[in-house]
């Protein structure tokens, strides 16, 4: 198991703070730096160092897909030959409407081993995306599990 180096308590606080909402302003790290009694540049340098070390994989905005008009969502499960899962999964993941793409161990009776989460604005757009994925990958054995209601969605926090 890989454990990443978090040098000190300041790094832990920075990670904890940047996992949440960051203010949309010209100096988003100023208040954080002030509360830690360090400079903004030190906050930025520490974030860059943690990215370089692999402690932080990526840093970016999270789109709330419903607020952006992507209200039609479905988990699509695909039956892919084991020897083709890497190739097919990587091709599926390239579609911009696919937010998640996982290879999973499944029960023999179920048979579907690649799971994709697809977001669209309309039912017809969703159907087209699924057909396009099927055409590009050649996978025709799939099931569409439509989202009816979001019961919970939170960003994971690690510290």
The number of domains in the chain is: 2
Considering the domain boundaries, does residue 23 fall inside one?
yes
Do 30 and 86 fall within a single domain?
Answer: no
The answer for residues whose C-beta is within 8 angstroms of residue 133's C-beta and 6 or more apart is 76, 92, 95, 98, 116, 118, 139
| Residue range 2-24, pLDDT digits in tens | 444 555 789 988 988 888 778 77
pLDDT at 1: 38
pLDDT at 159: 62
Do 78 and 123 fall within a single domain?
Answer: yes
> Does 130 have pLDDT greater than 50?
yes
Please provide residue 88's backbone torsions phi and psi, each rounded to the nearest 5 degrees.
-65, -45
Tell me the helix, strand and coil percentages in the chain, rounded to 5: 35, 15, 50
| Residue range 35-71, pLDDT digits in tens | 999 999 999 999 999 999 988 887 776 666 666 666 8
CATH number of the structural domain spanning residue 102: 3.30.70.3460
Domain encompassing residue 126: 72-146
pLDDT at 66: 65
Q: Which of 95, 93, 114, 111 is nearest to 103 (CA)?
A: 114
Q: Which of 45, 117, 21, 47 is nearest to 78 (CA)?
A: 117
pLDDT at 22: 81
Do 131 and 79 fall within a single domain?
Answer: yes
- Let me know how long the chain is: 159
Considering the domain boundaries, does residue 40 fall inside one?
yes
pLDDT at 68: 62
CA atoms 71, 68, 51, 156: torsion sign: negative
State pTM to two decimals: 0.67
Do 115 and 142 fall within a single domain?
Answer: yes
Considering the domain boundaries, does residue 155 fall inside one?
no
Do 33 and 78 fall within a single domain?
Answer: no
Considering the domain boundaries, does residue 29 fall inside one?
yes
| Residue range 73-94, pLDDT digits in tens | 999 999 999 999 999 999 999 9
| Residue range 94-116, pLDDT digits in tens | 999 999 999 999 888 899 999 99
Query: Per DSSP, what are the bridge partners of residue 145?
Result: 75
Give, to the nearest 10 degrees, the angle between helix 123-137 and helix 85-93. Answer: 140
């Amino acid at each position: 198991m890989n454990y990443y180096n978090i040098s000190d308590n300041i790094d832990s606080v920075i990670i904890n703070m940047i996992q949440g909402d960051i203010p949309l302003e010209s100096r988003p790290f100023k208040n954080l730096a002030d509360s830690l009694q360090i400079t903004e540049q030190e906050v930025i340098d520490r974030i860059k160092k943690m990215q370089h070390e692999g402690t932080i994989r990526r840093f970016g905005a999270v789109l709330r897909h419903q607020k952006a008009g992507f209200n039609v969502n479905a988990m699509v499960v695909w039956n892919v030959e084991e020897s083709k899962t890497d190739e097919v999964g990587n091709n599926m993941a390239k579609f911009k409407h696919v937010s998640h793409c996982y290879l999973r161990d499944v029960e023999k009776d179920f048979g579907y081993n690649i799971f994709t989460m697809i977001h669209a604005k309309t039912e017809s757009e969703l159907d087209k995306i699924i057909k396009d994925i099927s055409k590009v990958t050649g996978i025709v054995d799939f099931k569409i599990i439509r989202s009816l209601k979001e019961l919970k969605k939170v960003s994971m926090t690690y510290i």
